[in-house]
Each structure stands twice: as C-alpha cells, then as structure tokens.
Amino acid sequence: MNIIKRHYETIIVFTPVLSDNQIKNAYIEYKDFLIKNNVNIIKKEEWGMKKLAYTIKKKNNGFFYLFEYESETFLIKKLNNKLIQDERIIRFLTVKMNKHAIEYSLNRKINKINNNKENDKK
C-alpha cells in the first residue's frame, strides 16, 4: 500500500501572557510531536510577537510560529485536536498547500538564502 504524504502549513498563535520559556517549550512540544509522527518538516519560522488584526480571547497580540511539512492526511486531524485542546494557543490554522504555494515557499526560501549570502559578502 502506497502512503501519500501531502504538503501542509500550520500557523500557531500563542497567548502573549506566557513567558518566553513557556512559549519556547510549547513550540518544541509541537515540533517534537510532528517529528515523532514521522513528519518531514520542511521549514520552521518564529515570527515573534505580532499585533492581531482583531481581538481574540481578549488579547490584542500573540506569538506566531509557522511549520511547513509533509504529512499523511490522518495526522492533521490528530494535530488539530491537540491544538484545539491547548489553552496556550489562541488561534491556529492548518492548510493543505497547492503546487503554487509550494513553489512560492521554495522561491522565498531561495531568495532568503541568496540575500544572506550577499549580506555576508558586504
């Protein structure tokens, strides 16, 4: 039986009332959860504290993290259930990426690497 892995992206917004240590531990917990479930993590990004477009659970700010990964479809429901139950999270979004989003992400990653190389030369 051939197992199909699809490309996903999950953005997690942690509540701003947590300490830096608590946020880092929560992030590591979700990264380890993905790794433990044989997910191929393509990209992880910490966006830091950002102002929310609208108030969520009486909060105006949140700590944003992004995971881009390849996973089997059954795991997404398991991950979403885990995220829903976590009180440290005020919002999350998991999307299946289409070929255009994957290409855009790859180009963005290549441009970031090239910009870093140019900055190193200066």
User: Domain segments of the chain: what residues?
Assistant: 5-121
Q: Which pLDDT belongs to residue 3?
A: 72
Q: Which residue has the higher pLDDT, 27 or 103?
A: 27
pLDDT surpasses 70 at 116:
no
Query: What are the Cα distances from residue 112, in Å, to 22, 58, 97?
Result: 29, 35, 20
Q: What is the pLDDT of residues 59-85, one digit of tens each?
A: 999 999 999 999 888 899 999 999 999
pLDDT surpasses 70 at 54:
yes
Class of 5-121 in CATH = alpha beta
Nearest to 36 by CA among 62, 8, 14, 69: 69
